Amino acid sequence: MFSSIKKWLNERKAAKAKKNAEKQLNAFKATLYSCGDNLKLFGTPEIMGTKNLIIGNDCRLNSGVYINARSGVTIGDDVTLSCGAKIISTGYDVEHWMETGEKIHTVDTPVYIGNHCWIGANAIILPGVKITGEYVVIGAGAVVTKDITESKVIVAGVPAKIIKNI
Ligand SMILES: CC(C)(COP(=O)(O)OP(=O)(O)OC[C@H]1O[C@@H](n2cnc3c(N)ncnc32)[C@H](O)[C@@H]1OP(=O)(O)O)[C@@H](O)C(=O)NCCC(=O)NCCS
Protein backbone atom coordinates (compact mmCIF):
# COMPACT_ATOMS: atom_id res chain seq x y z
CA MET A 1 0.00 0.00 0.00
CA PHE A 2 2.65 2.54 1.15
CA SER A 3 5.05 1.45 -1.58
CA SER A 4 2.44 2.01 -4.28
CA ILE A 5 1.71 5.52 -2.91
CA LYS A 6 5.45 6.22 -2.85
CA LYS A 7 5.75 4.96 -6.45
CA TRP A 8 2.82 7.14 -7.54
CA LEU A 9 4.36 10.21 -5.82
CA ASN A 10 7.74 9.58 -7.48
CA GLU A 11 6.11 9.18 -10.91
CA ARG A 12 4.17 12.41 -10.36
CA LYS A 13 7.39 14.20 -9.33
CA ALA A 14 9.24 12.86 -12.41
CA ALA A 15 6.39 13.89 -14.73
CA LYS A 16 6.39 17.40 -13.21
CA ALA A 17 10.18 17.71 -13.60
CA LYS A 18 9.92 16.57 -17.25
CA LYS A 19 7.18 19.10 -17.93
CA ASN A 20 9.24 21.90 -16.32
CA ALA A 21 12.31 20.94 -18.36
CA GLU A 22 10.23 20.98 -21.56
CA LYS A 23 8.81 24.38 -20.61
CA GLN A 24 12.32 25.73 -19.96
CA LEU A 25 13.59 24.32 -23.27
CA ASN A 26 10.70 25.83 -25.25
CA ALA A 27 11.17 29.19 -23.51
CA PHE A 28 14.88 29.10 -24.44
CA LYS A 29 14.13 28.14 -28.06
CA ALA A 30 11.60 30.97 -28.35
CA THR A 31 14.32 33.55 -27.64
CA LEU A 32 16.45 32.42 -30.64
CA TYR A 33 16.29 33.47 -34.30
CA SER A 34 15.65 29.81 -35.07
CA CYS A 35 16.27 26.41 -33.57
CA GLY A 36 15.85 22.94 -35.06
CA ASP A 37 14.41 19.82 -33.51
CA ASN A 38 15.75 17.76 -30.67
CA LEU A 39 17.92 20.34 -28.90
CA LYS A 40 19.35 18.99 -25.63
CA LEU A 41 20.36 21.36 -22.84
CA PHE A 42 22.55 20.10 -20.00
CA GLY A 43 22.50 23.12 -17.69
CA THR A 44 21.77 26.66 -18.75
CA PRO A 45 23.81 28.22 -21.54
CA GLU A 46 24.55 31.95 -21.37
CA ILE A 47 23.65 33.67 -24.63
CA MET A 48 24.15 37.30 -25.66
CA GLY A 49 22.29 38.43 -28.77
CA THR A 50 19.83 35.53 -28.76
CA LYS A 51 17.97 36.96 -31.79
CA ASN A 52 21.09 36.48 -33.93
CA LEU A 53 21.59 32.83 -33.01
CA ILE A 54 20.61 29.99 -35.33
CA ILE A 55 20.84 26.41 -34.05
CA GLY A 56 20.23 23.37 -36.29
CA ASN A 57 18.75 19.97 -35.50
CA ASP A 58 20.04 17.47 -32.92
CA CYS A 59 22.41 19.84 -31.08
CA ARG A 60 23.63 19.57 -27.50
CA LEU A 61 24.70 22.46 -25.26
CA ASN A 62 26.43 21.59 -22.00
CA SER A 63 26.77 23.56 -18.79
CA GLY A 64 28.88 26.69 -18.86
CA VAL A 65 28.46 27.23 -22.60
CA TYR A 66 28.71 30.92 -23.53
CA ILE A 67 27.65 32.25 -26.92
CA ASN A 68 28.01 35.89 -27.89
CA ALA A 69 25.88 36.12 -31.01
CA ARG A 70 25.82 39.92 -31.35
CA SER A 71 27.31 39.67 -34.86
CA GLY A 72 25.51 36.44 -35.68
CA VAL A 73 26.25 32.80 -34.88
CA THR A 74 25.03 29.90 -36.99
CA ILE A 75 25.37 26.37 -35.65
CA GLY A 76 24.63 23.46 -38.01
CA ASP A 77 23.06 20.06 -37.33
CA ASP A 78 24.41 17.52 -34.84
CA VAL A 79 26.79 19.91 -33.09
CA THR A 80 27.89 19.41 -29.47
CA LEU A 81 29.22 22.26 -27.38
CA SER A 82 30.96 20.72 -24.35
CA CYS A 83 31.10 22.27 -20.92
CA GLY A 84 32.56 25.76 -20.85
CA ALA A 85 32.86 26.05 -24.65
CA LYS A 86 32.60 29.62 -25.91
CA ILE A 87 31.61 31.07 -29.27
CA ILE A 88 32.32 34.77 -29.56
CA SER A 89 31.16 36.73 -32.61
CA THR A 90 32.31 40.22 -31.72
CA GLY A 91 34.98 42.28 -29.98
CA TYR A 92 36.21 45.86 -30.08
CA ASP A 93 37.27 47.28 -33.43
CA VAL A 94 40.87 47.93 -32.34
CA GLU A 95 41.78 50.13 -35.33
CA HIS A 96 38.77 52.40 -34.68
CA TRP A 97 39.60 52.47 -30.98
CA MET A 98 43.21 53.53 -31.62
CA GLU A 99 42.14 56.17 -34.17
CA THR A 100 39.24 57.73 -32.25
CA GLY A 101 39.49 56.53 -28.66
CA GLU A 102 35.99 55.11 -29.06
CA LYS A 103 35.31 51.43 -28.35
CA ILE A 104 32.76 50.06 -30.81
CA HIS A 105 31.98 46.41 -31.46
CA THR A 106 32.79 44.71 -34.75
CA VAL A 107 29.71 43.70 -36.71
CA ASP A 108 31.21 41.98 -39.75
CA THR A 109 32.47 38.97 -37.82
CA PRO A 110 29.71 36.32 -37.69
CA VAL A 111 30.69 32.78 -36.70
CA TYR A 112 29.63 29.63 -38.55
CA ILE A 113 29.91 26.09 -37.18
CA GLY A 114 29.17 23.34 -39.73
CA ASN A 115 27.34 20.06 -39.29
CA HIS A 116 28.54 17.18 -37.09
CA CYS A 117 31.11 19.15 -35.08
CA TRP A 118 32.18 18.54 -31.50
CA ILE A 119 33.58 21.56 -29.64
CA GLY A 120 35.56 20.31 -26.62
CA ALA A 121 35.46 21.62 -23.08
CA ASN A 122 36.57 25.24 -22.64
CA ALA A 123 37.43 25.67 -26.32
CA ILE A 124 36.98 29.20 -27.67
CA ILE A 125 35.84 30.03 -31.20
CA LEU A 126 36.81 33.61 -32.01
CA PRO A 127 34.92 36.26 -34.06
CA GLY A 128 34.69 35.68 -37.81
CA VAL A 129 35.69 31.99 -37.70
CA LYS A 130 33.91 29.68 -40.13
CA ILE A 131 34.11 25.93 -39.65
CA THR A 132 32.83 24.81 -43.04
CA GLY A 133 34.27 21.31 -42.75
CA GLU A 134 32.07 18.57 -41.30
CA TYR A 135 32.94 16.08 -38.56
CA VAL A 136 35.42 18.54 -37.05
CA VAL A 137 36.56 17.94 -33.45
CA ILE A 138 37.88 20.95 -31.54
CA GLY A 139 40.07 19.74 -28.66
CA ALA A 140 39.53 20.85 -25.10
CA GLY A 141 41.01 24.28 -24.40
CA ALA A 142 41.68 25.13 -28.06
CA VAL A 143 41.48 28.71 -29.27
CA VAL A 144 40.24 28.70 -32.86
CA THR A 145 41.44 31.84 -34.64
CA LYS A 146 41.13 30.79 -38.31
CA ASP A 147 38.59 29.10 -40.59
CA ILE A 148 38.56 25.30 -40.78
CA THR A 149 37.61 24.13 -44.25
CA GLU A 150 38.77 20.52 -43.93
CA SER A 151 36.38 17.74 -42.89
CA LYS A 152 37.08 14.83 -40.50
CA VAL A 153 39.91 16.51 -38.61
CA ILE A 154 40.88 17.08 -34.99
CA VAL A 155 42.02 20.60 -34.25
CA ALA A 156 43.70 21.54 -30.97
CA GLY A 157 46.01 23.98 -29.22
CA VAL A 158 46.48 27.74 -28.97
CA PRO A 159 46.20 28.91 -31.69
CA ALA A 160 44.32 25.83 -32.88
CA LYS A 161 45.89 23.72 -35.63
CA ILE A 162 44.95 20.40 -37.26
CA ILE A 163 46.63 17.64 -35.24
CA LYS A 164 44.96 14.59 -36.80
CA ASN A 165 42.76 13.30 -39.62
CA ILE A 166 39.94 11.02 -38.51
C1 LIG B 1 41.11 16.39 -29.05
C2 LIG B 1 40.87 14.99 -28.50
C3 LIG B 1 39.50 14.48 -28.94
C4 LIG B 1 41.97 14.14 -29.08
O5 LIG B 1 41.85 12.84 -28.64
P6 LIG B 1 42.77 11.69 -29.32
O7 LIG B 1 42.44 11.53 -30.76
O8 LIG B 1 42.64 10.50 -28.46
O9 LIG B 1 44.22 12.33 -29.32
P10 LIG B 1 45.51 11.83 -28.53
O11 LIG B 1 45.21 11.73 -27.08
O12 LIG B 1 46.02 10.63 -29.26
O13 LIG B 1 46.49 13.05 -28.74
C14 LIG B 1 47.17 13.30 -29.93
C15 LIG B 1 48.15 14.44 -29.68
O16 LIG B 1 47.40 15.65 -29.50
C17 LIG B 1 47.63 16.21 -28.21
N18 LIG B 1 46.35 16.68 -27.71
C19 LIG B 1 45.24 15.95 -27.47
N20 LIG B 1 44.23 16.73 -27.03
C21 LIG B 1 44.73 17.98 -27.02
C22 LIG B 1 44.16 19.22 -26.65
N23 LIG B 1 42.89 19.30 -26.23
N24 LIG B 1 44.92 20.33 -26.75
C25 LIG B 1 46.22 20.23 -27.17
N26 LIG B 1 46.79 19.07 -27.53
C27 LIG B 1 46.07 17.97 -27.44
C28 LIG B 1 48.17 15.08 -27.38
O29 LIG B 1 48.98 15.57 -26.34
C30 LIG B 1 48.96 14.30 -28.41
O31 LIG B 1 50.19 14.95 -28.62
P32 LIG B 1 51.53 14.14 -28.95
O33 LIG B 1 51.25 13.44 -30.27
O34 LIG B 1 52.57 15.19 -29.03
O35 LIG B 1 51.69 13.17 -27.84
C36 LIG B 1 40.89 14.99 -26.95
O37 LIG B 1 42.19 15.11 -26.47
C38 LIG B 1 40.05 16.13 -26.38
O39 LIG B 1 40.48 17.27 -26.23
N40 LIG B 1 38.81 15.77 -26.05
C41 LIG B 1 37.82 16.70 -25.55
C42 LIG B 1 37.23 16.17 -24.25
C43 LIG B 1 36.09 17.03 -23.82
O44 LIG B 1 36.11 18.24 -24.00
N45 LIG B 1 35.05 16.43 -23.29
C46 LIG B 1 33.83 17.16 -23.00
C47 LIG B 1 33.21 16.81 -21.69
S48 LIG B 1 31.83 17.90 -21.35
Edge-to-edge strand order for the sheet containing 111-113?
34-35, 53-55, 73-75, 111-113, 130-131
Least confident of 18-22, 38-42, 129-133, 144-148: 18-22
Q: Which of 42, 81, 143, 154 to mutate to test the pocket of ligand 1 (most atoms within 8 A of CB)?
A: 154
Verify that 88 and 160 share a domain, yes or no.
yes
Ligand 1 centroid to Cα of residue 120, in Å, is: 9
Report angle CA 123, 48, 74 to the nearest 5 degrees. 65
What pLDDT digit, counting tens, does each position of 2-37 carry?
Answer: 889 999 999 999 999 889 889 999 999 999 999 999
Verify that 7 and 62 share a domain, yes or no.
no
Verify that 144 and 62 share a domain, yes or no.
yes
Verify that 1 and 43 share a domain, yes or no.
no
Q: Which of 65, 138, 148, 163 to mutate to test the pocket of ligand 1 (most atoms within 8 A of CB)?
A: 163
Could you tell me the CATH number of the domain that includes residue 93? 2.160.10.10
Q: How many domains is the chain built from?
A: 2
Verify that 16 and 98 share a domain, yes or no.
no
Atom of ligand 1 nearest to the CA of 154: 1
Q: Which residues contact ligand 1 via a Cβ below 6 A?
A: 62, 82-83, 120-121, 137, 139-142, 154, 156-157, 163-164
Q: Is the torsion defined by CA of 146, 90, 112, 122 positive or negative?
A: positive
User: Can you give the residue range of the structural domain that contains 96?
Assistant: 33-165
Q: What is the pLDDT of residue 2?
A: 80
Ligand 1 centroid to Cα of residue 107, in Å, is: 33
Verify that 82 and 16 share a domain, yes or no.
no
Enumerate residues 6+ apart whose C-beta is below 8 A from 24: 41
Confidence (pTM): 0.92
Burial class (CB in 10 A: 0-12, 13-18, 19+), 34: exposed
Verify that 142 and 65 share a domain, yes or no.
yes
Verify that 57 and 19 share a domain, yes or no.
no
Cβ atoms of residues 71 and 89 within 8 Å: yes
Report angle CA 146, 111, 103 to the nearest 5 degrees. 90
Q: Is the torsion defined by CA of 5, 6, 7, 11 positive or negative?
A: positive
Verify that 18 and 43 share a domain, yes or no.
no
Ligand 1 centroid to Cα of residue 139, in Å, is: 6
